[in-house]
């Protein structure tokens, strides 16, 4: 099999997560500056087989696209152009940042580390990926 990568795209930082080859476990890859994300992904897919990239899609409570879509849509277009052989999928990311913060609190992460937004971005990417995999299992 191959891996699935998840992206929590922000205006400044991008959180990244990936599955193992069997697509069972989601693990945080890291956080990169938005200007470096395509290079990071390019380098990653040179060494690992990735068949799908899931990009978090922010939605409002009424299911309308959030304001952030104006930054994410051009990024998704670049991804599709840059990686034509990789499926690019979008997945609802509502509440991932709040869940990430709650996860850190429950895990005993110190307040100073919780303030580091890079940690929230990484965990959010993992949550997007876990939710995406769970939805695929339900729909199979």
pLDDT at 90: 92
C-alpha span between 34 and 11 (Å, rounded): 7
* Number of structural domains in the chain: 1
Task: Name which of 1-5, 35-39, 95-99 the model is least confident about.
Answer: 95-99
> What's the domain range around 29?
3-138
pLDDT digits (tens, 9 = 90+) for 8-50: 998 899 999 999 999 999 999 999 999 999 999 999 999 999 9
Closest CA to 16 of 55, 66, 65: 55
**CATH value at residue 46:** 3.30.420.140
State both tokens at 121: 């971005």
> Model's pTM, two decimal places?
0.85
Any idea what DSSP says for residue 94? Answer: T
């Amino acid at each position: 099999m191959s891996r699935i990568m998840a992206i929590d795209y922000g205006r400044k930082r991008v959180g990244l997560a990936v599955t193992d080859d069997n697509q069972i476990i989601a693990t945080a890859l890291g956080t990169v500056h938005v200007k470096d994300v395509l290079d990071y992904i390019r380098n990653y897919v040179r060494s690992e087989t990735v068949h799908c990239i899931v990009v978090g899609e922010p939605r409002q409570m009424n299911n309308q696209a959030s304001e952030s879509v104006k930054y994410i849509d051009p990024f998704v277009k670049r991804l599709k152009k840059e990686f034509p052989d990789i499926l690019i999928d979008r997945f609802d990311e509502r509440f991932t940042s709040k869940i990430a913060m709650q996860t850190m609190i429950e895990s005993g992460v110190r307040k100073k580390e919780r303030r580091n937004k890079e940690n929230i971005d990484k965990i959010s990417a993992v949550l997007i990926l876990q939710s995406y995999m769970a939805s695929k299992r339900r729909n199979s």
